[in-house]
Chain A
Amino acid sequence: MTDPEQLSWTTLNAYVDGELKPDVAAKVAAALADDREAAARVATLTKLRATVKAASPVPAPPPLVLPQARPPMTRWLPWTAAACFALLIGAASLGIAYRQSPGSSLSAAVAAHQSWLAQSPASAAPRLGVELAGAEAGALPDLSLASLRLVHLSLDPAGRGGGGMLAGYVGPNGCRVGLWIAPVEEALPLHPAVQDRDGLAIRAWHDERASYAVLGRGIDAARLDGIAALVARITRDEPGVPREQVAVLAEARSVGPACLG
């Protein structure tokens, strides 16, 4: 007598898929010879499997674009960035804080960003590199969550309070976004706020260590908001990035129009 489980629907599926152990499969095959209905089920399953494959063409995928490994040329960038960042933070912590209108610091930011935009996109060489032994790598925000890669650094050491630094990031489509970091300027708000001027979209703010401005030309406002929020979070050393924030960044990247810069 045949065990009912031996020819159950689930077992027959596993039989057709070749998932049964050889001895079990042999018993099922022997039992099928005496059970026409079970044999009919196997025939149906076999036909169903083959037809599912034939009826489901593989959809054309998007081009394979793998995230780039850090190019050897830019290996020094984190160290230089760390050095610049340390200089600025050091100046700020010594109490050399600005007491001026936000416009003056942003003017320097705008000038640095426009100077960078004026360079050809291929020119990734920094205008001024500073390297300090023992500097902590990675002091500049990693904006890979916003699909931005650090490619440029320029330092304006002549400004008051230690000047400022522009870190240039580039997106997957060549869009250039600048992050200006300067000593604390209390006239700026505590959270990223719109400070658009001179044809640039700008979000600026300050915390207890420095002032920040994120700049872009022709960039989607929602994307710039998302980038500024990400920078603010990272520079405040807040652990992790909420999924909602990641989703907003991804949505702004896919929905917004291409940036002009």
Chain B
Amino acid sequence: MRIIVERALRQNWERLFSYALRLSGNRDGAADLLQSCATKALAAAPPEEGERIRAWLFAILRNTWIDEHRRGVTGALAAEEAPEDESWRHDDRLIAAITVRQALERLDPLHREIVELVDLAGFRYGEAADILGVPVGTVMSRLSRARLSLLNAIEGGAIRPFAARQRKRASNT
């Protein structure tokens, strides 16, 4: 059992740290969180289905963080609705590495977390739902809202890719 968990920890160490960094907001906190996660995982029985071990590790990491830092806050996050469809006004040309990076920094932690799990760690909706302890429908609405926020943050960001800025200037003259 320990060998299986050790292997999963080694395979996911980088991504677990990335998630821990998102949760804790600083490297030292993330390192401690990761170590606590590893200790707990090695002391526990992993799920029998091998494909569930990865999500299980992320869930342990998240629960450890909640236990240590955010007890009592999760209830306030329960009520979420799908975003209202609004008129489409986003410009694809603004989506670039620098604008996205800036927008991610400004994203609400709850939204950043779901983006981290689905877009970066590559979890399916069902797996993310298990990790977060919410229904799949909540994952869907939270993710779609997070992406809308991300697009709005990109749109409202001060920095624009050079090419898009040039084009915008040209269209204004």
Chain A contact residues, CB within 8 Å of chain B: 4, 8-10, 12-14, 17, 19, 37, 40-41, 43-45, 47-49, 51-56, 58-59, 61-62, 64-67, 69, 144, 243, 246-247, 250, 254
User: Which of B31, B100, B140 is in CB contact (< 8 Å) with A51?
Assistant: B100
- CB <8 Å contact, B104 and A61: no
- CB <8 Å contact, A52 and B119: yes
Contacts of B82 in A (CB 8 A): 8-10
Contacts of B95 in A (CB 8 A): 44, 47-48, 51
| Complex Cα gap A19–B97 (Å) | 25
Is chain B's binding surface mostly helix, strand, loop or mixed? helix
The closest CB in chain B to the CB of A40 belongs to B88
Q: A14-B140, A37-B88 are in contact. Are A64 and B97 (CB under 8 A)?
A: no
Is chain A's binding surface mostly helix, strand, loop or mixed? helix
Least distance between B126 CB and chain A CB atoms (Å): 9
Q: A9-B85, A14-B140 are in contact. Are A61 and B148 (CB under 8 A)?
A: no
Contacts of B125 in A (CB 8 A): 14, 17, 19
User: Which of B6, B98, B101, B118 is in CB contact (< 8 Å) with A17?
Assistant: B118
- CB <8 Å contact, B97 and A41: no
Residue contacts A-B, CB under 8 angstroms, 22 given:
A9-B82, A9-B85, A9-B144, A10-B82, A13-B147, A19-B140, A37-B88, A44-B151, A47-B95, A48-B151, A55-B97, A55-B101, A58-B18, A59-B14, A59-B17, A59-B27, A61-B13, A61-B14, A62-B27, A64-B13, A65-B35, A66-B42
| Complex Cα gap A250–B30 (Å) | 13
Contacts of A44 in B (CB 8 A): 90, 92, 95, 151
Least distance between A62 CB and chain B CB atoms (Å): 5
- CB <8 Å contact, A62 and B17: yes
- CB <8 Å contact, A13 and B140: yes
Q: A52-B150, A58-B15, A66-B38 are in contact. Are A243 and B67 (CB under 8 A)?
A: yes
Least distance between B49 CB and chain A CB atoms (Å): 20
Least distance between B154 CB and chain A CB atoms (Å): 8
Contacts of B16 in A (CB 8 A): 61
The 5 A-B pairs with the shortest beta carbon distances in the complex, nearest first, are A61-B17, A55-B97, A13-B144, A10-B144, A55-B100
Contacts of B4 in A (CB 8 A): none
| Complex Cα gap A243–B127 (Å) | 28
- CB <8 Å contact, A67 and B39: yes
Contacts of A37 in B (CB 8 A): 88
> Does B120 lie at the interface of the complex (its beta carbon under 8 Å from any beta carbon of A)?
yes
Least distance between B129 CB and chain A CB atoms (Å): 11
Contacts of A250 in B (CB 8 A): 32, 36
Contacts of A4 in B (CB 8 A): 85
> Does B55 lie at the interface of the complex (its beta carbon under 8 Å from any beta carbon of A)?
no
- CB <8 Å contact, B104 and A52: yes
The closest CB in chain A to the CB of B83 belongs to A9
User: Which of A9, A43, A62 is in CB contact (< 8 Å) with B31?
Assistant: A62
User: Which of A54, A61, A66 is in CB contact (< 8 Å) with B97?
Assistant: A54
| Complex Cα gap A58–B97 (Å) | 14
Q: A8-B82, A58-B15, A243-B67 are in contact. Are A52 and B100 (CB under 8 A)?
A: yes
Least distance between B60 CB and chain A CB atoms (Å): 14
> Does B48 lie at the interface of the complex (its beta carbon under 8 Å from any beta carbon of A)?
no
Contacts of A41 in B (CB 8 A): 88
| Complex Cα gap A69–B2 (Å) | 9
- CB <8 Å contact, A58 and B32: no
> Does B96 lie at the interface of the complex (its beta carbon under 8 Å from any beta carbon of A)?
yes
Within B21-39, the residues touching A (CB, 8 Å) are 21, 27-28, 31-32, 34-36, 38-39
